[in-house]
Structure 1
């Protein structure tokens, strides 16, 4: 397989192929994919349903691959024991080889290729010896019919040693029950190597984060007041998830959700918002009666300032 991205700093390599057809029971025909390294753009004309194969080679023993369903349940993927296909080997040791097949479908009304979440991605989790849990996400997405391979770091947590309980998981991690069990099982017999839990320091960090968020909202309010034009509404990018196709921005009314189809950009990248990016938007609507989200507001008509 052709090497697509070498995330050596993070400890893994990404390969991409398109499945063509099967010959017999074991042989699978695969096609090399032309790919733009800067933007993630996949140069492949897809005019009917197709399957792409993402393969990850991990270069560190602390990395595992998982799939996640719509309820955020985690299934750990097994590493391939062997492969009959030729791959480009890294100079270092390969600890695991993981595959994910992503189905690209053609919309039956507008006839453009698309993928669906969560089937369009999988995650790599780094569980290091000092309790730092880092989650990366690799996905194939469609932006108005244009396919992209995306890679991003989506979560980072810290696990601590607790004198009485053995390990202490941060509150954000505890909220994700399936991940909490996986991480807890991994570090349960390694708690002595973890940094000690400092409750006072964690409280200070939480207060600092809360204060920083409020300060950002106040800065946006002052900027809008300074402009003196009620039609100009300012937002600041907080995060964006490529696989899920939505993100979060700060507004003068608080935090709000934004979907990719409400974002206008003039660059070559798939629609997204960058952290700390200054934006303007047309409308802020209230989200009412949707129990599937914690967001109370949603931004419409977002563009780069």
Structure 2
């Protein structure tokens, strides 16, 4: 069941980058509009992060403290008023899928990690079984999918495991200890160099304020300090796993990978069930003529 949940939510998340990128309208989110929203819905400056959803046309302000996540205010970008929470359908679907994909249920992150390792073990066992004989049978299709899409089948769980272990190959950011500005100042600094319509979020990670901007074929994460907005090294395991590299190509590759993994799981379960439900053949008793 953990594998089923991970693969289905992974398929849903595969289309998110392509859908979000296609919904971006350059120039639709201006600095004046964001500052008006901050002045109206966060006059005390308590919000520490924001998230922009081009799919729903909303901006979400989030405040948090030592006790955990705080209040969330969802604002409609067109009117500047609080948005109906029921209207944020796409963001809700993708957010729920991401939570289940990364944390399973009841925040069982370890279960996701164990399931990912189990998937890699299953792939290794399949490789040790040798080259397949391609036939128009259930087992033939199972082996054909696995071998023809082997790089994708391996990369998806492998990069997921690297993300879970915190391995990015990006090195430590040089500006990690630099003082961070307040959210309003960070918005002005990012807007001076980038179109705010392409901003996915501005939030704190590991004590450092960061901004994710999707103004090219792949999103770039920037460190925002009081002195500058500095691009951080690419986190390739995350880019590959989330399918955010190469524009729409990454999303298409992830969709194909998700269908391949779901197909392998389904055909594998069917092959196992057929063998388990098959009635054992009883040995024939010798007749008097054959005795």
**Above 0.5 in TM-score?**
no
Structure label with greater radius of gyration: 2
Q: TM-score, structure 2 length as denominator?
A: 0.24
Q: TM-score, structure 1 length as denominator?
A: 0.23
Higher RCO (CA 8 Å, separation ≥ 6 residues): 2
- Give 1 or 2: higher helix fraction: 2
